[in-house]
């Protein structure tokens, strides 16, 4: 009986955390649609709809980054790596700049009103503003 309960615990998938796109609370980015965010994070655009250039940041490889790209683009980690390898090799685009930690991301975003990053949903530093919640 105990073995069965243990097996069932592993069979039930845990709910993955949501992810939020964030920017500086004092920045000029009003918000993002899923389509805009997808276009930006796949390197298909480098500016917002109004022409404002933005700087994009990625968290280090791991569950939050994987979840972000799955929710935003529908691509798994190996598909994203292959996609960016092709983009870089052909000279079409460069991937977002990778930061070392969420703390570094928060510092970069608060100092640049045209920067966008993502964090796991939860308490967000008051110096940041949520642009979009995924899913």
Q: Is residue 2 part of a domain?
A: no
Kindly report the CATH number assigned to the domain that includes residue 58.
3.40.190.10
Q: Is residue 8 part of a domain?
A: no
pTM score: 0.85
Interaxial angle between packed helices 63-73 and 34-41, expressed in degrees from 0 to 180 and rounded to the nearest 10: 120
Total of domains in the chain: 1
Average pLDDT of span 5-26? 65
Q: Is residue 9 part of a domain?
A: no
Give the Cβ contact number of residue 26 at 10 Å: 10
Find out whether 105 and 57 touch, Cβ atoms under 8 Å. Answer: yes
Q: Is residue 1 part of a domain?
A: no
Alpha-carbon dihedral 99, 101, 102, 103, rounded to 10 degrees? -100
Q: Is residue 86 part of a domain?
A: yes
Average pLDDT of span 92-113? 95
Which domain covers residue 60, as residue numbers? 19-134
For the stretch 38-75, pLDDT in tens is 999 999 999 998 899 999 999 999 999 999 999 999 99
Please return the burial class of 73, using the count of CB atoms within 10 Å of its CB with bins 0-12, 13-18 and 19+: middle
Q: Is residue 7 part of a domain?
A: no
């Amino acid at each position: 009986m105990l073995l069965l309960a243990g097996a069932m615990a592993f069979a039930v998938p845990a709910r993955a955390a949501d992810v939020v796109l964030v920017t500086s609370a004092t920045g000029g980015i009003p918000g993002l649609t899923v389509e805009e965010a997808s276009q930006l994070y796949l390197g298909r655009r480098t500016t917002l709809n109004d022409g404002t250039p933005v700087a994009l940041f990625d968290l280090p490889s791991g569950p939050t980054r994987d979840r972000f790209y799955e929710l935003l683009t529908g691509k798994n980690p190996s598909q994203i790596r292959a996609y960016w390898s092709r983009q870089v090799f052909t000279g079409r685009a460069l991937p977002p700049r990778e930061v070392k930690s969420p703390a570094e991301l928060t510092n970069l975003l608060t100092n640049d009103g045209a920067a966008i990053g993502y964090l796991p949903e939860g308490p967000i530093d008051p110096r940041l503003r949520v642009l979009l919640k995924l899913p």
